[in-house]
Structure 1
Amino acid sequence: MDLTNRIALAAIEAGKEILHVYENEFSVAYKSDQSPLTLADQKAHDVISYYLKQTPYPILSEEGRDVPFEKRANWPCYWLVDPLDGTKEFVKRNGEFTVNIALIKEGIPVLGVVYAPVKQWLYIGESGEGAWKLELKEHQFPDNWKEAGERLPSKAEEDRKYTVVGSRTHASEETKEFIAKLQEAHGDIAFVSMGSSLKLCLVAEGVADIYPRMAPTMEWDTAAGDAIVSSAGYRVVQYENDAPLQYNKENLLNPWFVVKR
């Protein structure tokens, strides 16, 4: 099984485990940073770890993040995983949460999948190959997925307003100021609210033109989406200097960034 098929299946199986929890009553705990944690996070982590431990590469996951920098600094290639991105969306039951798996090579996301289990949307990005979106049925991953999926970007952009995608839960004042400047430049603009890493995927898909993020995120929040965006021919850059996001930093907190076409 090649790596792309492996992580696609891992994300889908993790998504099915998440839905088992989502569709029933569940309790919510809180981490030291007050971010929510559910049984679904841990179940998804366990499934993904099972698939990825059969590859040569180590794993850095949000739910298993206690890997000392001194150890991971020497990893030339590793998996970066968020088993359940958008736990707040999960708790709200709005369906806008994802499973994120990325392969990082020398600090660059070169392969990524994002799966939204409620919507059954699967996004795949392979560096040098391209990006795709699949709308699955019954969580089944087709063998001929490149033919079955839409090559990204897939949405026509001529007949719509300049479109900004943003967070449902993290609209900072700085983000609002950034959007105001976009309105000055583009006139009447459209705004799409979306949770989790789906925001990056909407830019890759061509549904949105830009996603500004002037609020905290971690490396595992962005890596898979970053791989998909770049494989679609677009960019995820730091707000301050237009440089690419860096991965496997000592501090895993991302700087502010912009995803743009």
Structure 2
Amino acid sequence: MNQQTHLAIEAAIEAGKEILNVFNSDDFGVRLKSDDSPLTEADLKSHQVIDSYLKVTNIPVLSEEGDAIEYNQRSGWTQLWIVDPLDGTKEFVKRSGEFTVNIALVEKQKPIMGVVFAPYLGWLYWGDAAGAYKAELVNNWQTKDVDELIANMTGVLLPCQETEVCTVVASVSHFSKETETFVKALEEKEGTVNLVSRGSSLKMCLVAEGAAHLYPRLGPTMEWDTAAGQAVVEASGGQLFDWHTKAPMKYNRKDLLNGWFLTLARGLNAADYWLL
């Protein structure tokens, strides 16, 4: 893997250790941000770890838990890191293991590298110009040196699964009426549809694996929710399209709020799935 991918994986793993320390504690405080989304000590500790790793690159960082940066400052950036220190905080608070650390490197508005790490599950995904991979970290990985972990892990090239029945992955916490309508239209088209629920960026990773064919997100997200997952999907040969433009999602926009999007596994034609 290249140096930047290696660095992002290091950062994600070390952040994952901090997240699990909080997750495994008897109690952790939860407060609400201005948009009513939850914030925990784990979000903040993860941000601090990742920021300390990425700042050595001298590439600016746009993080959900970092300082707000006005577009007139960001607009001149040709490269940036986009980070969600803890994606799926709602799942974290419910003590579900389906939360992730997301780190993406974006160049000229395109995510060219992404790391998605699910620390509770020990699942590590990454994607760059060399392809997309998944590694499952060994038991007690939290106690091991990060360089040793990376040196000894084996990544499986994605996609690594084949699913015959049309499979759609959807959000655990954000299953909208529009998504339900989409699935019904897909059932009319395909006959049988298998619906799978997952939290955080694991939905995009399932598409990259080949375990799901489609992930329609017919509701709002932010750039840090999708950049890393999109990089992994695209490195696997899949696609993530903005529903409005019918083009790959772009990043470092003036408005960081994403519109609807559709994620497709390798080999699928998006034109066949604009069903709403």
User: Which TM bucket (shorter chain)?
Assistant: over 0.9
**2:114 maps to which residue?**
112
Separation (CA, whole Å) in 2 of partners of 1:65 and 1:74: 17
For 2:218, the equivalent position in structure 1 comes to 214
CA displacement 1:35-57 (0-9 Å, x = unmatched): 00000000000000010011120
Other-structure match for 2:270: none
Aligned residues, how many?
A: 256
| C-alpha distance in 2 between matches for 1:256 and 1:186 | 22
CA root-mean-square deviation? 1.1
1:135-214, aligned counterparts within 5 Å? 135-137=136-138, 138-139=140-141, 141-143=149-151, 145=153, 148-157=154-163, 160-214=164-218
Query: TM-score if structure 2 supplies the norm length?
Result: 0.90
Matched, 1:20 2:25: no
Q: Which moved more, 1:90-99 or 1:241-250?
A: 241-250
Tell me how far apart the structure 2 counterparts of residues 79 and 240 of structure 1 sit (CA, whole Å): 25
**Per-residue deviation, 1:65:** 4.1
Identity percentage of aligned residues: 52
Q: Which of 44, 53, 56 does residue 54 from structure 1 map onto?
A: 56
Following superposition, the deviation at residue 2 of structure 1 comes to 1.1
Amino acid at match of 1:244: P
Gaps of 5+ in 2: 266-276
Aligned equivalents of 2:178, 2:86: Cα separation in 1: 27
Among candidates 93, 96, 107, match of residue 94 of structure 1:
96
SS of match in other structure, 1:212: strand
Q: Report the counterpart of residue 135 of structure 2 in structure 1.
A: 134
Aligned mates of 1:171, 1:194 — CA distance in 2: 11
Query: Aligned letter for 1:165?
Result: V
The list of structure 1 runs, each at least 4 consecutive aligned residues, that deviate by more than 2 angstroms after superposition, is 138-142
SS of the residue aligned with 2:204?
helix
For structure 1, the residue ranges without an aligned partner over 5 or more in a row are none
Question: Could you tell me how far apart the structure 2 residues matched to 1:42 and 1:22 are?
Answer: 13
* Partner deviation per Cα, 1:58-79 (whole Å, 9 max, x = no partner): 1000001411111111110010
Report Cα offsets for 1:68-94 as digits up to 9, x if no partner. Answer: 111111110010000000000000111
- What is the TM-score with the length of structure 1 in the denominator? 0.96
Tell me the residue number matched to 2:105. 103
Within 2, Cα distance between the matches of 1:240 and 1:250? 16
Cα distance in 2, alignment partners of residues 212 and 222 from structure 1: 12
Q: SS of the counterpart of 1:64?
A: coil
Counterpart of 1:151, as a letter, is L
